[in-house]
């Protein structure tokens, strides 16, 4: 068994960015340990509202626990940073954290859980989310401290030709793995359905583009991509890469 750390900024990032990959790893017998920096306090409450603003942290924590269970996760931990409210013009903000302290928290978690590989946000924060960028930079800093421990770092939503959702592709992270996650699409969809407060957000952009309402299952991506950031890619010679190759779902 291999311990894998999936660390993201907000509830739902894990599912929408790489839920299929995480489900594939769990299905292959790997222990996926989930860590979320915040409880998503600044996010939407749903349309119609699933809860009040005062209840959002508790509800989104429960939604994440539901999603982790659907994806076959081994554990869930929150770092207890506070997600800022979205601004009046849909401005996004990073949670307040000392980058050095945050990086050390990641190092400590890796040691405690005997982690061999980390999955996290890409170097462009997907769509430039400041919270994603803050966490990405802290995890990279942690991974550099862990170089002697043979811990590999992968980032999600890496760029590749014909990416189904270019808006969230990290343009500076070339994909080293592109995965067909069809075998676990039902699990990923179920995990997305757990995040009830975010359903309106999930479908809003696609519904507007198409000119008619779509459902959450309609917008679930059937392929996902990874970029190996550390150590530098040299033909996929680490254990995580080999495990994903053995799933038979690698398409690029």
> What are the residue boundaries of the structural domains of the chain, listed by start?
3-246
Cα distances from 41 to residues 24, 34, 38, 82, 141, in angstroms, run: 29, 18, 7, 7, 26
Q: Once rounded to an integer, what is the mean pLDDT over residues 194-218?
A: 97
| Residue that the structure tokens 């980390």 belong to | 118
Would you give the DSSP letter of residue 123?
Answer: T
User: What does the pLDDT read at residue 236?
Assistant: 67
Per-residue confidence band for 248, with pLDDT thresholds at 50, 70 and 90:
low
Q: Looking at residue 239, what is its pLDDT?
A: 87
Write the pLDDT tens digit of every residue in 74-114. Answer: 999 999 999 999 988 889 999 999 999 999 999 999 999 99
Q: Average pLDDT in the 36-54 region? A: 97
3-246 belongs to which CATH class? alpha beta
């Amino acid at each position: 068994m291999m311990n894998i750390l999936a660390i993201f900024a907000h509830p739902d990032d894990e599912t929408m960015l790489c839920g299929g990959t995480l489900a594939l790893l769990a299905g292959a017998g790997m222990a996926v340990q989930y860590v979320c920096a915040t409880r998503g306090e600044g996010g939407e409450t749903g349309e119609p509202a699933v809860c009040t603003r005062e209840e959002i942290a508790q509800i989104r924590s429960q939604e994440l626990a539901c999603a982790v269970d659907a994806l076959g996760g081994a554990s869930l931990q929150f770092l207890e940073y506070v997600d800022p409210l979205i601004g009046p013009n849909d401005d996004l903000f990073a949670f307040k954290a000392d980058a050095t302290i945050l990086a050390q928290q990641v190092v400590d978690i890796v040691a405690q859980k005997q982690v061999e590989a980390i999955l996290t946000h890409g170097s462009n924060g997907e769509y430039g989310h400041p919270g994603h960028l803050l966490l990405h930079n802290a995890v990279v800093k942690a991974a550099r401290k862990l170089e002697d421990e043979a811990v590999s770092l992968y980032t999600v939503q890496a760029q590749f030709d014909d990416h189904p959702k270019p808006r969230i592709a990290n343009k500076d992270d070339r994909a080293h793995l592109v995965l067909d996650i069809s075998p676990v699409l039902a699990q990923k969809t179920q995990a997305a359905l757990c995040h009830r407060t975010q359903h309106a957000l999930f479908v809003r952009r696609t519904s507007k583009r198409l000119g008619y309402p779509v459902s959450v299952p309609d917008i679930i991506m059937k392929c996902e991509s990874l970029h190996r950031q550390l150590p530098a890619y040299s033909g996929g010679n680490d254990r995580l890469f080999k495990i994903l190759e053995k799933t038979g779902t690698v398409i690029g």
